[in-house]
Amino acid sequence: MKLKNKINLYTSVLFIGLLIFMNITIYLLFKNLMVASEISATEQEFDNITAGVISSLGTVATDNLLRAYVPIDGKIQLVASDGKNLAMSVSPSEEKLSKQETAFYDKGVTKEITLDENHYYFYSLPVIWTDGSIANLQVTKSIETAYDQSETLRFILFAVTFVATIPIIVSSQLLGKLIMDPITALTKTMKEITKSGQFKRIPMNQQTKDELEQMGKSFNHMIDLLETIFTKQEQFVSNASHELRTPLTVIESYASLLKRRGIDKPEIFHEAVDAIHAEAVRMREMTEQLLLLAKPNEQWNLDFRSLSLTLITKATTKSFEQAYGREIALNVTEEVVVISDEQKLKQLLYIILENAVKYSEEIITVTIGKQNKEGFIRVSDKGIGIPEEDLPKIFDRFYRVDQARSRKYGGTGLGLSLAKEIANAIHATIEVESSLGVGTNVTIRLPLQ
């Protein structure tokens, strides 16, 4: 059975069952209340009749006395101790009560009886007869009105149950459709993805703000992540096969040279070893960068917190100066606290400083400050600069402004591309201003605390 049919069946059965249970409960409660109310009124009437009859016995003719106190829809009689009927009066509407069997009771009795499928309330009280003997004053009164009203209520509740079944079934179908439409769309989209091999998403036309919308958004987010991973893997395979070919060729060539002539000529040996080592280092750096670029930002385990931009920059520049032996001037205008990931921010700053050192021989200046509700780090060098037409492309993977010059200075062409990825992950922006032969300013902007 389909899930939609199950929802229709279960909800319909549940709500109809609840409706029937509620109506039965209402019927029984209402019936008991009406019968109890009728009996209470009847007992009150019996008390009045008993008091009137007892006070008038012996002073008024018995038949006249009983006719005076007979209930409108009942019977009154006097029964001797031997069970014989001494006197009786029956209302015209209840002539069948005259056929009721008589019995004598030693004590007071009240009970509900049924005669010809009609309901009556019976009352018997011992009294002293005119001759001094004990007799019973018995009164029987119809309480069929309460049962008739109960039957009317039962018919009404049955009709209400039957009529209410229709909107219950219709609403259960609408509920099933409401629940199943997003699931059907999800299933259809998954089948289309399987069939076509293309990444597709569920259209989110309505903002319901419920679990079904969350399911659709989660599915679309998962597809975005899968597409990103797939694209990055394709890029990784393409980039790796393209860029690793050259160093592998160089290593293979020098290895062959070593094999043929390296033993006899030390200068060739040292040249080949140096070249192989340099290419191996470059391959390792390139592989690490490619692997990092192939990983989605969601898997970088970022830890966002408040950071002092001054302390982070001082620690990074000091480490950089010791590693490269270059002087870096730090210009701090004010204390700046931002929200970011410490390790990724250091890595981003390190990439920018490495590029500045690589293409500039003079002192590098790093400035920290605030601007437009953002904190910024500006790295300025007086190096070779970048032509204006090349600025939009510098963040592309493996793009080099000057291929020959870039090979000379080293690098993989992935540094700025990786910097862009890191900046996006930590919600930072990178701005580059450069003039050929004058120098370059790279500004990293971060959200303030």
Q: Angle at CA 423, nearest 5°, toward 419 and 427?
A: 175
Per-position DSSP letters for 85-148, written without gaps between them: EEEEEE-GGGGGGGGSPP---SS-EEEEEEETTEEEEEEEEEEE-TTS-EEEEEEEEE-HHHHH
Q: ∠ CA 274-277-279 to the nearest 5 degrees?
A: 110
Residues of the chain with pLDDT under 50: 403-410
Beta-sheet pairing, 304-308 with 337-341: antiparallel
pLDDT of the residue at 413: 58
Residue 384's nearest CA partner among 408, 349, 367 is 408
Q: CB neighbours (10 Å) of residue 276?
A: 19
Predicted local confidence at residue 76, as pLDDT: 92
Instruction: List beta partners, residue 111.
Output: 122
378-397 pLDDT per residue, tens: 999 888 888 888 787 777 76
Which pLDDT belongs to residue 400? Answer: 59
Domains of the chain (ranges; CATH) run 3-149 (3.30.450.20), 211-294 (1.10.287.130), 302-447 (3.30.565.10)
Taking the model in full, what pTM does it have? 0.45
The C-alpha atoms of residue 444 and residue 368 are separated, in whole angstroms, by 10
Helix, strand, coil shares, percent, the chain, to 5: 60, 20, 20
Which are the contacts of 47, defined by CB distance < 8 A and separation ≥ 6?
A: none
